Amino acid sequence: MSHKKHYHIRNWRDYNKALVNRGSLTFWFDKNSIDSWYSSQKLNKRGRPWVYSDIAIQCCLTIKAVFHIPLRATQGLVDSLLQLLGLNFTAPDYSLLSLRQKNLSLRLPESKGSLEGRHLVIDSTGLKLYGEGEWKVRKHGKGKRRTWLKLHLGINEKTQDIEACILTGDDVHDSEALPGLLKQIDGNVLQVTGDGAYDTHDAYMATIGIGANPCFPPRENAVKHKPSDEGWRLRNHAVSQVKYHSLKYWKIKNSYHRRSLAETAMFRFKQLGVCA
C-alpha cells in the first residue's frame, strides 16, 4: 500500500510574500521599442504624418491579449501608460490596430541554445471566430454558424517554447501547413514529431529538407510505397516497424510520447482565453 507524501510549508514569510507579488504589475518599454515606435516612412494623408512600426502594433496587441480588452480600450490604456512613463509619443488608433493586425508579421524570440540540435513537436487546434459587429447583430441578430481558423504550433521539446506558429483557414490540412512552420525555424533540428495527420509524403520531404528525422506514425492499414526517394524510404521503414513489432514499440523507439507537449502547449494557449 503506497502512502502519499505530504509537503509542509515552513517559510511562511516568503510564502506570503510570493502570494502578494502575484498581484504586482510592472510595465516598461525597452530602448528598441522606444526608438522604433515610429517608422521613417511617411503617409500622404492629413492628420497622421507618421506610420507606426510593427513593434508598436505588436506591443499594443500584446497588451490587448493579456488584459482581454477591446481595441478602443487598448488605445486608451497604452496612451495612459506612455504618459505615466513620460514617453513623448502616442498609441496607434484603434482602427489602425484593427487593420494592421490582419497582416502583422511576428517573429518569436529565440531562446538560449536555440541553434543547437533539438526535437520539434507539432500539432494544430481549431479556433472559433467571435465578434460579428454591433451593426450586424442589431440588424440581423447573432449568426448560428461560426467561422473557424486553425492554429499550427511547433514546440521545442526540451524548453517547451513555441518556436513556430501559423494561423490558417479550417480547410488547410496539417501536413500542408508543415512546410511553412519549418521555414520559421533557425538552426539545427534533429527530429520533427507529429501525429498521424502528418503521415504524408510531402510532410516527410519537408522534414528531410531541413535535415531532420521525420517521426509520424503510419496510419491504420498503411502500406508501403515504391522507395523512389528518401521520403518514401523512411515511411516504408516506419510501416515495417509497426507491422513486424507494434505501434507501441515504434512510439517508444522514436520518443513519440514527447508529442504530448504540443497538446500541453495548446491547452496553455486556450486557457488564456484568446479569441480572434
Tell me the per-residue pLDDT of 87-100, one tens digit each, with 9 for 90 and over.
Answer: 888 899 999 999 88
CA 271 – CA 224 distance, rounded (Å):
41
pLDDT digits (tens, 9 = 90+) for 244-272: 888 888 889 888 888 888 778 777 777 76
Domain ranges of the chain: 22-100, 118-271
Cα angle value 29/32/38 (rounded, 5°): 90
Q: Fold for 118-271, please state it.
A: Nucleotidyltransferase; domain 5 (3.30.420)
CA 90 – CA 48 distance, rounded (Å):
11
pLDDT digits (tens, 9 = 90+) for 168-215: 888 889 889 999 999 988 888 899 999 888 999 999 999 999 999 999
Q: What is the pTM of this model?
A: 0.58
Query: Which has the minimum average pLDDT: 121-135, 199-213, 220-234, 246-260?
Result: 121-135
Judged on CB neighbours under 10 Å (0-12, 13-18, 19+), 161 is middle
